[in-house]
């Protein structure tokens, strides 16, 4: 396992990190299975575990808490807030009112007195940066969080938050967690240059592109990944973007074969090769999935292999741009651009 410094924090984290979204109802992973996955991940050298309050309505945090009991101090523990937790309109977002409550709820579910990294799951356009950063700074000073970061923020919002922290003398985001894979490379053109400029640690999610790069998706085969039932629209081959992805996967499979690698090794080796990336979040649903992904822990792609990948999917290109979660609200809601 490789280790890297998380931004400018001085904290050393593994180049592969364990994402716990599949723990609980979403991945139909039981507590015993989740604990076995955590045990195997820690034994392999992974030291960062990432979850969120909204994963299976808090069940993921509860499972992580039980799985790490007795060894909390050896783990860099990260969770997230801002996504809706129920129907109550104020049980979401990045307001001080909600974050104070949401963090206490997460700490209770995790069974800990603090988290190492508390991340804003999405940018909240209804809340000012000053409001959010002020609340996070106070929670940090209270000892409930060590650091805080953002997740899936557009590049301009990352910059705005950095400036707001400086202007109001508040703590700043020290990490960003964007989606990044061989098939979704858009952040190379805007987000990653910004994170490098501000010295942010980068924890990338969906490096296997929701299963497209797992090796299970190939032309002429029935698509049987768990995400194909959870998010069927992402695998509907009548959609042009999905046909483009399948074509790219076939070409990438040849690149992997020529290099003597599995598709998973190619995919994870690709994202961890970028100098701006600190860790790739893997989200195994089973022990077999975990072991297949751990095989990429020390994968280093040669320049020739990276060039071959660039020839299949050009740098800075998203093959499924409509699946991005950083689109400005005015592009999604006509009312916001036609007032």
Where are the domains positioned within the chain? 3-209+268-301
Strand ranges for 20-127 from DSSP E: 48-50, 76-81, 115-120
Half-sphere exposure of 84 (CA within 13 A, CB side): 4
Give the pLDDT score at 126: 94
Find the Cα–Cα–Cα–Cα dihedral 111, 113, 119, 120, rounded to 10°: 90
Between CA 17 and CA 89 the distance in angstroms is 32
pLDDT in tens, 112-127: 999 999 999 999 999 9
DSSP state of 281: E
Q: What is the pLDDT averaged over residues 229-247?
A: 81
Residue 230 confidence (pLDDT) above 80: no
Region 97-106 average pLDDT: 98
Task: Supply the pLDDT for residue 216.
Answer: 86
Q: Which fold has domain 3-209+268-301?
A: TIM Barrel (3.20.20)
- 195 vs 297: CA distance, rounded Å: 23
Q: Which of 7, 33, 28, 4 is nearest to 288 (CA)?
A: 33
List, in order, residues 6 or more apart from 143 with CB less than 8 Å away: 113, 114
Q: Note the pTM of the prediction, 2 decimals.
A: 0.93
Can you give the pLDDT at residue 225? 63
Q: In this predicted structure, what is the pLDDT of residue 279?
A: 98
What is the percent of the chain where pLDDT is above 70? 96
Using DSSP's 3-state secondary structure scheme, residue 175 falls into strand
What's the chain's average pLDDT? 94
pLDDT at 277: 98
Which one has a higher pLDDT value, 138 or 240? Answer: 138
Q: What is the pLDDT of residues 245-281, one digit of tens each?
A: 999 999 999 999 999 999 999 999 999 999 999 999 9
What is the per-residue pLDDT for 323? 80
List 119's β-bridge partners, or say none.
80, 149
- 141 burial type by CB count under 10 A (0-12 exposed, 13-18 middle, 19+ buried): exposed
The single residue of 55, 118, 147, 173 carrying the catalytic annotation is 55
Predicted pLDDT at 331 = 76
Residue 55 among the catalytic residues:
yes
Nearest to 12 by CA among 49, 64, 47: 47
Name residue, tokens 């499972």. Answer: 63
Q: Return d(Cα 129, Cα 161) in angstroms, integer.
A: 6
Give me the mean pLDDT over the 36-62 stretch: 98
Average pLDDT over residues 134-142: 98
Q: What is the mean predicted confidence (pLDDT) over 12-37?
A: 96
Q: What share of the chain is helix, strand, coil (3-state, %, to 5)?
A: 45, 15, 40
């Amino acid at each position: 396992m490789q280790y890297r410094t998380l931004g400018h924090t001085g904290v050393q984290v593994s180049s592969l990190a364990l994402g716990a979204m599949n723990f609980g109802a979403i991945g139909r992973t039981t507590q015993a299975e989740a604990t076995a996955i955590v045990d195997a991940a820690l034994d392999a050298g992974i030291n960062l575990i990432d979850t969120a309050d909204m994963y299976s309505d808090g069940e993921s945090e509860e499972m992580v808490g039980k799985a790490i009991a007795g060894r909390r101090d050896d783990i860099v523990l990260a969770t997230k807030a801002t996504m809706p937790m129920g129907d109550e309109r104020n049980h979401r977002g990045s307001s001080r009112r909600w974050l104070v409550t949401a963090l206490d709820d997460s700490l209770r579910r995790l069974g800990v007195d603090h988290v190492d990294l508390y991340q804003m799951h999405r940018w909240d356009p209804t809340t000012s940066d000053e409001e959010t950063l002020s609340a996070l700074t106070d929670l940090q000073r209270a000892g409930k969080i060590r650091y805080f970061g953002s997740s899936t923020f557009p590049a301009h919002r990352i910059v705005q938050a950095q400036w707001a922290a400086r202007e109001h003398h508040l703590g700043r985001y020290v990490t960003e967690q964007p989606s990044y894979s061989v098939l979704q490379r858009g952040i190379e053109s805007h987000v990653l240059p910004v994170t490098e400029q501000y010295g942010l640690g980068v924890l990338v999610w969906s490096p296997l592109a929701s299963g497209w790069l797992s090796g299970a998706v190939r032309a002429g085969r029935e698509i049987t990944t768990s995400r194909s039932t959870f998010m069927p629209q992402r695998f509907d081959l009548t959609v042009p973007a999905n046909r483009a992805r399948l074509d790219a996967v076939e070409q990438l499979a040849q690149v992997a074969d020529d290099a003597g690698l599995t598709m998973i090794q190619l995919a994870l080796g690709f994202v961890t090769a970028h100098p701006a990336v600190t860790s790739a979040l893997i989200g195994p649903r089973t022990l077999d999935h975990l072991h297949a992904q751990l095989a990429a822990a020390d994968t280093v792609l040669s320049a020739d292999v990276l060039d071959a990948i660039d020839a299949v999917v050009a740098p800075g290109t998203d093959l499924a741009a409509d699946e991005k979660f950083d689109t400005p609200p005015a592009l999604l809601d006509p009312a916001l651009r036609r007032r």
